């Protein structure tokens, strides 16, 4: 990788002139602090005393028996504060912002999970917080809006474009271009221009680093396979990255096939996307022949993004990680299966990974071990599933 943040030909720094100096400052600030032992110590202390790390690695025996293949271990990011892995990156970037002397943090959010994590860490660190959220998403996720307000953040409703996540990112970048003197833009996944894909990967790598230690102490060897869901791609990169140089460990990403790849209502950018530039990086994008970004769909709001982190485009290209699209229907079945076999209600995003993990476990057979990232808890989705099944 070069200093400009390339992963093969993907990634990079495709931004308008007005953003160049802000992002260069961020690159320099992060390069310095990521080498600073005091920064690492403070972050680790917050991760353990505030966010609840390390999260458990749990052998899901009844789930493994039900599937009849490899032993399945769940990395319990659902037990982290605010209910998902998003807190790892939010804490890292907010602490960075504070150290860089910024007093204000902005963020984009789709369903509201990243907005809530950002509002949370800003309350913790005493930073002013504004979150951009599309009008369509605000209507779908009223409670998360109120949650952010409870935490002291201001929600800015975005009324441009399709009024969803990609438009919120555009608005946040516009804000950042004129306010970066005192403002940090806290991106929620391994997307966007350099340094975000690398920086967010570093903050999320705590997942894979813990898994490595935990597997060695519980099982005494590394797993044969890792499985995670892929929206922007940060929980998966966080799990995969520390195993990059362990060739015996296979990596599997579960994208959202929505109602099916063939019908076009999905969010599977690695499986079905084409190369282009979106939000500052060269990557795989769901777009038409003219480069117009497609409308995407998934039952899991956190997977509903028309592109993917550039490192995934690279890992797929070189064959180091393999990507499969899981339908809404398959994810909902896995949501039930994990709830019934283990007493753990997963986020619908994570349920995509559970479905794929079941397939991979079957292929590995009973002598194998597999780790799946349970990226979040499903309380936020219970209402939606109940409605889909006609219960409410
Ligand atoms: C946001 C979210 C995701 C998707 O984001 P990634 O960047 O792909 O990790 C997955 N699971 C949960 C629970 C989320 O909140």
Q: Where are the domains of the chain?
A: 16-47+86-200, 52-83+205-388
Q: CA Rg, the chain, in Å?
A: 19
CA of 242 to the centre of ligand 1 (A): 19
Report which ligand 1 atom has the smallest distance to the Cα of 231.
8
Quick count: other Cβ atoms within 10 Å of Cβ 280?
A: 25
E strand segments, the chain:
6-7, 10-11, 57-59, 71-76, 104-109, 128-134, 154-158, 183-185, 225-229, 250-258, 274-278, 281-285, 321-327, 369-374
For the chain, give the mean pLDDT.
96
Supply the pLDDT for residue 317.
98
* Whether the Cβ atoms of residue 101 and residue 123 lie closer than 8 Å to each other: no
Active-site entry in 77, 108, 130, 349? 108
Average pLDDT over residues 360-365: 97
Residue 114: per-residue pLDDT: 96
Q: Is ligand 1 within 6 A of the CB of residue 115?
A: no
Tell me if residue 108 is catalytic: yes
The CA distance from 270 to 48, in Å, is 34
From the options 3.30.420.40, 3.40.390.10, 1.20.140.10, 3.40.50.1100, give the CATH code of 52-83+205-388: 3.40.50.1100
pLDDT digits (tens, 9 = 90+) for 86-128: 999 999 999 999 999 999 999 999 989 999 999 999 999 999 9
Q: Tell me, using a 6 A CB cutoff, whether residue 331 lines ligand 1.
A: no
Is-catalytic flag, 166?
A: no
Average pLDDT over residues 54-82: 98
Rounded to whole angstroms, the Cα distance separating 178 from 188 reads: 20
Q: Which pLDDT score, from 0 to 100, does residue 3 have? A: 59
For residue 2, what pLDDT is reported?
46
Sheet holding 250-258, edge to edge: 57-59, 71-76, 369-374, 225-229, 250-258, 321-327
Rounded to the nearest angstrom, the distance between the alpha carbon of 208 and the centre of ligand 1 is 15
Contact call for residues 370 and 250 (beta carbons, < 8 A): no
On the question of a common fold for 16-47+86-200 and 52-83+205-388, the answer reads: yes
Q: How far is the CA of 171 from the centre of ligand 1 (A)?
A: 21
Cα separation, 227 vs 136, in Å, equals: 31
Nearest CA to 195 out of 9, 6, 33, 18 is that of: 6
The dihedrals phi and psi of 228, each to the nearest 5 degrees, come to -155, 155
The listed CATH number (3.40.50.1100, 3.10.129.10, 3.30.1700.10, 3.90.1150.10) that belongs to domain 16-47+86-200? 3.40.50.1100
Measured CA to CA, the distance from residue 238 to residue 220 in angstroms comes to 21
Q: Please choose, from the candidates 113, 87, 104, the residue with its C-alpha nearest in 3D space to the C-alpha of residue 165.
A: 113
Ligand 1 centre distance from Cα of residue 17 (Å):
30
């Amino acid at each position: 990788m070069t200093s400009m943040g390339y992963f093969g030909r993907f990634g990079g720094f495709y931004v308008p002139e007005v953003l160049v100096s802000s992002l260069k400052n961020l690159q320099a600030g992060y390069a310095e602090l990521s080498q600073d032992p005091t920064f690492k110590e403070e972050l680790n202390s917050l991760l353990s005393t505030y966010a609840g790390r390390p999260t458990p690695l749990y052998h899901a025996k009844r789930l493994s028996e039900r599937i009849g293949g490899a032993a399945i271990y769940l990395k319990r990011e659902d037990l982290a504060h605010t209910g998902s892995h998003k807190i790892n990156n939010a804490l890292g970037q907010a602490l960075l912002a504070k150290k860089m002397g910024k007093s204000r943090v902005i963020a984009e959010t789709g369903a509201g999970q990243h907005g809530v994590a950002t509002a949370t860490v800003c309350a913790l660190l005493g930073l002013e917080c504004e979150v951009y959220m599309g009008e369509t998403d605000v209507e779908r996720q009223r409670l998360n809006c109120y949650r952010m307000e409870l935490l002291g953040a201001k929600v800015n409703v975005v009324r441009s474009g399709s009024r969803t996540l990609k438009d919120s990112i555009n608005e946040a970048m516009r804000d950042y271009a004129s306010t970066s003197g005192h403002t940090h833009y806290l991106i929620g996944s391994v997307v966007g221009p350099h340094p975000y894909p690398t920086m967010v990967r570093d903050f999320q790598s705590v997942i894979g680093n813990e898994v490595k230690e935990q597997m060695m102490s519980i099982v005494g060897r590394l797993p044969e396979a890792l499985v995670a869901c892929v929206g922007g791609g940060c929980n998966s990169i966080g799990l995969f990255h520390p195993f990059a140089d362990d060739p015996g460990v296979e990596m599997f990403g579960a994208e959202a096939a929505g109602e099916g790849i063939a019908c076009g209502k999905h969010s599977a950018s690695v499986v079905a996307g084409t190369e282009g530039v979106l939000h500052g990086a060269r990557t795989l994008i769901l777009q038409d022949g003219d480069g117009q970004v497609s409308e995407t769909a998934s039952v899991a709001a956190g997977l509903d993004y028309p592109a993917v982190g550039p490192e995934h485009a690279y890992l797929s290209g070189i064959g180091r990680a393999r990507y499969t699209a899981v339908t809404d229907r398959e994810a909902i079945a896995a949501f039930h299966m994990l709830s019934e076999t283990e007493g753990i209600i997963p986020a619908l995003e994570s349920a995509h990974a559970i479905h794929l993990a079941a397939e991979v476990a079957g292929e590995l057979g009973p002598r194998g071990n597999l780790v799946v990232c349970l990226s979040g808890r499903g309380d936020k989705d219970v209402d939606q599933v109940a409605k889909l099944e006609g219960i409410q």
